[in-house]
């Protein structure tokens, strides 16, 4: 249980895989550009940053993804 929300093991495994795939995709985009949508910061970068920072509140280890 995280913050009062009950999840099954299967749900947690699914979302862990989904998160890893998403982070891998973001890393691929950032390896080709300075920002998610090109050479200038955009609302996409700000939105992604807001989403990624939430991992710290539920103790998700993002250390394997240095670009985050």
For the chain, the structural domain boundaries read 9-58
Between 3 and 20, residue with greater pLDDT: 20
Tell me if residue 1 falls in helix, strand or coil. coil
pLDDT band at 68 (very low <50, low <70, confident <90, very high): very low
The 10 Å Cβ neighbour count of residue 56 is 10
Question: Among residues 28, 35, 64, 33, which one has the least CA distance to residue 49?
Answer: 35
* Residues in Cβ contact with 42 at an 8 Å cutoff, skipping those fewer than 6 apart: 35, 36
- Record the tokens describing residue 19, joined without a space: 């998160």
Instruction: Kindly report the pTM of this predicted structure.
Output: 0.72
Tell me the pLDDT tens digit for each residue of 6-40: 888 898 889 889 988 999 999 899 999 999 999 99
The residues with which 38 forms a beta bridge, in sequence order, are 35
């Amino acid at each position: 249980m995280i913050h009062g929300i009950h999840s099954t093991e299967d749900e947690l495994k699914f979302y862990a895989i989904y998160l890893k795939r998403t982070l891998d995709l973001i890393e691929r985009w950032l390896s080709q550009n300075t920002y998610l949508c090109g050479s200038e910061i955009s609302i996409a970068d700000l939105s992604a940053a807001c989403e990624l920072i939430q991992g710290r509140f539920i103790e998700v280890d993002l250390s394997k993804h240095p670009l985050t």
